[in-house]
């Protein structure tokens, strides 16, 4: 009888998730958090022994002893223990480590798994426990061993030959290489001049109103119009002005733009970067909060989104039905397709989890806004709207294409006009590079109509090099090339920036001198480690371990011997490289030497070159071209302890003005308050009034130099 009163113990990873789940389960259950891994390879040694068939040495992580002691105590007093760590390889491995530590039989039904933190999902998981999936555990062990061998074998070489503190990583080295090679493509690029010739003409709209249309020169004398200099452009312009034009052909049509699928981890990181200006790390931090649970007042604590590390676009039938009901109730039957929209995931996508979606369609962003921080609301609205839009009808556009012929020249007009918004009533996708055609009123023109051009323009352009990566486009490239998995994108980018291999300036990623040097060493001596195809194939092999098709140690047996040979060659042949510190124009006030730039945990700083004899160091002071709105002094660009940029008065602490957004010198023309600058869409900037009760804003087109930067 005493046993029946004992509690059941559920072990999760995060304390926030523990609080949420404990409220769902109520009396009779105790929920503890492991706070991630409790055991791992030791930091002081490799912990993987190739001589013993890659035996792994696991120890309790320093600082986790108290957590483990508390969990052991609760487990000892519990009638049953459920391991409820995250539903992925890493989570499975954490459950395995916990089972070993708590003397739980891994073949027993001790593991529960849920993909959303809702009362229904958690209770269903409790009713269907399973054994620990050793194939998933082994896939994680193989990845951990590979990453440890690469990191702990190559990093000491980089320390010895290039610079202390350097490290190499299996995926981070490939990501750095991509950024380095893109920069070299840009440097090697030779721009080519070309000219566009366009002409404007007047026409009548379908409602009988005059409108101005524009056509572009596409062919001359039966050949494609390729104009490479001003003389040719001027000649073509004069020829158009002298000629009489008529409509050779006019083709009206209709096209549809279909909605995108709900988010995967990768597409969420990309879209949050474009629309919200979030870094990949910020996106994962905020979406983790939405997943683990938000207190919605009377409704209780609820996980607002499903599991956040996924590359699947699959959605449950129940969720699709909820989305369709929401669409019909809010927009009408005409916005809901006859049959649910279905989406095909990318090749090699893991289908264990659904796409990232709201757990309850009735929790609209506005209905929960009061319980969310600004960033949580922005991201939840993005996820919610994308999911609802994914089950809506396409947007429908009328199109018109017309060829205008005169003097053996053809100018082409193309226009489109939206006649049914469909999913775009809820959500419009962003893109890194492409720009959509402007939508407007279409003219009424038909074959044989005469055309009189009112203005002809010739505009000079130059071909552009490939764009530098943003975090969003780098994530997309890593995914397209099959490098890494949803859980690795954000930490990979964070690592290459924190290591000083890559710098981020105005959303663009630039390789540093150090990043270029390390990449060159890796390419010369560890070519396969930084080879994109090799890395992608390794991911496929890890997937095959998870699927039970490959024994995990066989991957290491195949990888290690040639890798060991590469190490031997590198140790003998790499010559020591001396990296000279960049000298600043700031003099050390203690010893008189010119200070040098160093990179630390929170970015670059100034240090005395005579260290350790002189230990003087100071932050880099950067002023912006705007006065302090509070006292009129200079404003400085600063960095917080969490490496986030902010702006503050140079007179601090006498003046306590601070702003996360960059103030500008312009005053608000509406209320007189100071204004701030934020990145806008499609390469522009937005100037906003800092006074929240004033809604004034203006869009400013960025210059070519600013856009490139």
**C-beta separation of 141 from 149 below 8 A:** no
Which pair of tokens denotes residue 165? 């503190």
Classify strands 80-83 and 8-12 as parallel, antiparallel or unpaired: parallel
Name every residue whose Cβ is closer than 8 Å to that of residue 643 and which is 6 or more positions away in sequence.
602, 603
Name every residue whose Cβ is closer than 8 Å to that of residue 620 and which is 6 or more positions away in sequence.
597, 604, 605, 606
Q: What are phi and psi of 491, to 5 degrees?
A: -65, -30
Out of 307, 380, 469, 560, pick the active-site residue: 307
**C-beta separation of 699 from 685 below 8 A:** yes
Name every residue whose Cβ is closer than 8 Å to that of residue 219 and which is 6 or more positions away in sequence.
225, 409, 410
Which pair of tokens denotes residue 683? 């390469």
Q: Measured between alpha carbons, how far is 31 from 81 in angstroms, rounded to an integer? A: 10
Which pair of tokens denotes residue 221? 């004398």
Name every residue whose Cβ is closer than 8 Å to that of residue 344 and which is 6 or more positions away in sequence.
313
Helices 172-188 and 513-525: crossing angle in degrees, nearest 10, is 110
Q: Measured between alpha carbons, how far is 657 from 646 in angstroms, rounded to an integer? A: 11
Q: Measured between alpha carbons, how far is 393 from 614 in angstroms, rounded to an integer? A: 68
Asked about 423 being catalytic, the answer comes back as no
Q: Measured between alpha carbons, how far is 670 from 627 in angstroms, rounded to an integer? A: 19
Containing H/E element for 76?
A: helix 65-77
Q: In the beta sheet, which residues pair with residue 301?
A: 295
Helices 374-390 and 265-276: crossing angle in degrees, nearest 10, is 120
DSSP letter for 300, please: -
Classify strands 301-302 and 294-295 as parallel, antiparallel or unpaired: antiparallel
DSSP-derived secondary structure for 218-230 = EEETTEE----SH
Q: Measured between alpha carbons, how far is 125 from 498 in angstroms, rounded to an integer? A: 39
Q: Measured between alpha carbons, how far is 378 from 56 in angstroms, rounded to an integer? A: 43
> How far lies 253's CA from each of 209, 396, 416, 417, in Å?
21, 11, 9, 11
Which pair of tokens denotes residue 279? 């870094």
DSSP-derived secondary structure for 541-573 = HHHHHHTTSS-HHHHHHHHHHHHHHHHHHHHHH
Other beta carbons within 10 Å of 145: 25
Dihedral angle computed from the Cα positions of residues 352, 354, 359 and 363, in that order, rounded to the nearest 10 degrees: 170
State the sign of the Cα–Cα–Cα–Cα dihedral 91, 92, 97, 99. Answer: positive
**C-beta separation of 81 from 102 below 8 A:** yes
Please identify every residue annotated as catalytic. 307
């Amino acid at each position: 009888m005493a046993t029946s009163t004992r509690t059941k113990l559920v072990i999760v990873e995060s304390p926030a998730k523990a609080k949420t789940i404990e409220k769902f389960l109520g009396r009779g259950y105790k929920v503890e958090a492991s706070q991630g891994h409790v055991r791992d390879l030791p930091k002081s040694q490799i912990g993987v022994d190739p001589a013993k068939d890659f035996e792994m040495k696991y120890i309790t992580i320093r600082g986790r002893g108290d957590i483990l002691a508390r969990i052991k105590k609760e487990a000892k007093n519990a009638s049953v223990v459920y391991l409820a760590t995250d539903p992925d390889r890493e989570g499975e491995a954490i459950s395995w480590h916990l089972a070993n530590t708590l003397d739980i039989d891994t073949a027993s039904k001790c593991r529960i798994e849920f993909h959303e933190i809702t009362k229904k999902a958690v209770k269903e998981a409790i009713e269907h426990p399973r054994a620990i999936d050793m194939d998933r555990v082994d896939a994680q062990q193989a990845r951990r061993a590979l990453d440890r061998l690469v990191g702990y074998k190559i990093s000491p070489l980089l320390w010895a030959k290039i610079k202390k503190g350097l490290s190499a990583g299996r995926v981070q080295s490939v990501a750095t290489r991509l950024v380095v090679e893109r920069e070299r493509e840009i440097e090697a690029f030779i721009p080519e001049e070309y000219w566009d010739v366009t002409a404007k003409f007047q026409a009548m709209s379908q409602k009988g109103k005059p409108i101005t249309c524009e056509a572009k020169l596409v062919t001359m004398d039966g050949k494609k119009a390729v104009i490479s200099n001003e003389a040719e452009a001027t000649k073509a312009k004069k020829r158009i002005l002298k000629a009489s034009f008529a409509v050779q052909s006019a083709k009206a049509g209709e096209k549809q733009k279909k909605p995108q699928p709900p988010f995967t981890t990768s597409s969420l990181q990309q879209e949050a970067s474009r629309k919200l200006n979030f870094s990949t790390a910020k996106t994962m931090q905020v979406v983790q909060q939405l997943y683990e649970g938000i207190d919605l007042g009377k409704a209780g604590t609820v996980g607002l989104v499903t599991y956040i590390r996924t590359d699947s676009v699959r959605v449950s039938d129940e969720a699709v039905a909820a989305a369709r009901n929401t669409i019909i109730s809010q927009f009408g039957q005409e916005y809901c397709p006859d049959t649910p929209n279905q989406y095909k995931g990318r090749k090699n996508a893991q289908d264990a989890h659904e796409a990232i979606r709201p757990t309850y369609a009735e929790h609209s962003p506005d209905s929960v806004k009061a319980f969310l921080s600004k960033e949580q609301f922005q991201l939840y609205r993005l996820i919610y709207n994308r999911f609802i839009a994914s089950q809506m009808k396409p947007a429908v556009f009328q199109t018109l294409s017309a060829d205008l012929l005169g003097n053996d020249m053809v100018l082409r007009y193309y226009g489109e006009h939206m006649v049914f918004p469909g999913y775009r009533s809820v959500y419009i996708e962003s893109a890194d590079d492409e720009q959509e055609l402007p939508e407007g009123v279409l003219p009424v023109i038909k074959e044989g109509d005469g055309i009189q051009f009112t203005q002809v323009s010739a505009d000079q352009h130059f071909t552009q090099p490939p764009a530098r990566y943003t975090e969003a486009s780098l994530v997309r490239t890593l995914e397209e090339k099959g490098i890494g998995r949803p859980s690795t994108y954000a930490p990979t980018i964070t690592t290459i920036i924190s290591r000083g291999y890559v710098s981020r300036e105005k959303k663009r990623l630039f390789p540093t001198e150090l990043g270029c040097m390390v990449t060159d060493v890796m390419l010369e001596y560890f070519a396969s480690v930084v080879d994109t195809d090799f890395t992608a194939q390794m991911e496929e092999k890890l997937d095959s371990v998870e699927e039970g098709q490959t024994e995990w140690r066989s991957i290491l047996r195949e990888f290690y011997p040639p890798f060991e040979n590469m190490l031997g060659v590198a140790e003998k042949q790499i010559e020591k490289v001396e990296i000279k510190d960049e000298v600043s124009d700031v003099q050390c006030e203690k010893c008189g030497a010119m200070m040098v730039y160093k990179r630390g945990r929170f970015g670059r700083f100034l240090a005395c070159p005579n260290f350790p004899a002189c230990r003087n160091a100071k932050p880099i002071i950067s002023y912006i071209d705007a006065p302090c709105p509070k006292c009129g002094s200079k404003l400085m660009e600063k960095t917080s302890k969490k490496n986030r940029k902010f702006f503050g008065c140079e007179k601090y602490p006498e003046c306590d003005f601070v702003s996360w957004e960059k103030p500008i010198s312009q005053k608000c023309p509406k209320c007189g308050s100071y204004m701030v600058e934020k990145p806008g869409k499609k390469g522009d900037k937005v100037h906003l009034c800092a006074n929240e009760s004033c809604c004034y804003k203006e869009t400013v087109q960025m210059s070519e130099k600013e856009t490139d930067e």
